[in-house]
Amino acid sequence: MIELLLSNNYAVAAFSKMDDEHGCWILEPKKNQDDEVEKVGKAIKLWIERLNDIPNWNVRIGHVKPFVHGFGTSSGGHLVTKLATDVKYSHLVKIGGMHVQVAAPVVIPKERWSHVPTIFTIMSRDWNVKSEVKRLVATLNGMNVPTKVMESKSKKITPDYFRKRIDGVSKSLSGAMYR
C-alpha cells in the first residue's frame, strides 16, 4: 500500500503502537498516562509543518495545503476516528477522509462525524464488526456523510498456501506453518 501511495506522489507518515504487549492504542488515557491520540496529532501537525523544509516543496504542491487521509486498523481505526472527530484534537490536524479497517468506532455525538468521508473495510466472517459498521453506515448516510464499505473474503488456507505467497518458503515449511 505504501509503495502504491509513494509511486503516485503521495507523502506518507506512518505511526505504529509497538511499546506494549498488545500493540493497541490507548484512546482514553488514565491519570498520569500519555494521551496517545494527542501525541499522534501533534506528530502529524509537526510533519506537515516540516514539509516546508523540503527544497521546492511549495512549487511541487502548487500552494495547496496537504490533504490528510487517516488510515487505521483495529485500535488504529478508533484512534484515527477520534483524531478526526473529537473537538479536543481539532486544533492539531484536520483529517479530510478516513479508511477504517476491522473496527466500528463510536463517536458521540454522531454529528461530529458529519464532515469526514469514511471507507470501512470489514472481514466477511467478523459478524460483530460487520453488524456495527452496517448500523454506523446507515446513520452516517442519514447525515449525508460519504461512506463506502469493502468486505474482504476469507482465503482458503492450504498446506501449500505460504509457499505460493512467500519467496523462499519450502513446501515442507509451508506445510508446517499450515499445521
Cut 0.85: pTM above it: no
Domain boundaries, the chain: 2-154
| Residue 21, pLDDT score | 66
Tell me what pLDDT residue 20 has.
64
Class of domain 2-154: alpha beta
DSSP letters, the chain, are -HHHHHHTT---------SSSS----SSPPTTS--HHHHHHHHHHHHHHHGGGSTTHHHHHTT-PPPEEEEEETHHHHHHHHHHH-GGGTTT--EEEEEEES-----SSGGGGTT--EEEEEETT-HHHHHHHHHHHHHHHHTT--EEEEEEPPPPP-TTHHHHHSTT--HHHHHHHH-
Name residues of the chain where pLDDT drops below 50.
Answer: none
